[in-house]
Amino acid sequence: MALKRHYDMTSLFSMASMTDVIFLLLIFFMVTSTFVFPTALEINLPQSSEQTALKPGTRVYIDKDQIIYASFGDHEPQALAEDQLLGFLQLVQQQQPEDFIAIYADAEVPYGRLVEVLDLGARNGLKMVLATKPAPSSAKPAGK
């Protein structure tokens, strides 16, 4: 009588290929995350209880170091020198005469510096508004 041999096949799952995929994904995300550049300016706006929800087409930013940036439409803010600001604002006024220009000034910007920029716009017939963030006490509950 012939004896039959039993070969037991054990099913093993090889984790080597899975770890390769995980490490490749990890390396991919680490490399691509270094290409992301933050484009937002750090502007700490002053608070105000009066709010108007408007989306300006032109924005002028003054950061805490008193560097002036300007943007039109959906473009990224670009740093401007003092003498370039008036030219930029006049160009915007020619292209969009009905639009207003929003000034986003950091809370640490001296009041006199802010008045200089607003006065520059007023002397040239530009419509300018000052952007603020809502005061904590001005938040109104829904339904009232």
Q: Is the pLDDT of residue 2 over 50?
A: yes
Q: 46 with 132: CB under 8 angstroms?
A: yes
CA–CA–CA angle 91, 95, 96 (5° rounding): 110
This prediction has a pTM of 0.58
The chain-wide mean pLDDT, for the chain, equals 79
DSSP, residue by residue, the chain: -PPPPP-PPP-----HHHHHHHHHHHHHHHHHHTT---------PPEES-------SEEEEE-TT--EEEEETTSPPEEE-HHHHHHHHHHHHHH-TT--EEEEE-TTS-HHHHHHHHHHHHHTT--EEE--EE-GGGPPPTT-
**∠47-63-109 over CA atoms, to 5°?**
60
pLDDT reported for residue 144? 46
CATH of the domain spanning 47-135: 3.30.420.270
Res 27: pLDDT = 92
Q: Is pLDDT of 25 > 90?
A: yes
Q: Which position has the higher pLDDT, 46 or 125?
A: 125
Q: What is the pLDDT of residue 24?
A: 94
The listed range with the strongest mean pLDDT (10-14, 29-33, 50-54, 139-143) is 29-33
pLDDT tens-digit map of 55-111: 667 888 998 888 999 888 778 888 988 889 888 888 888 888 778 888 888 888 888
Span 131-142, mean pLDDT? 64
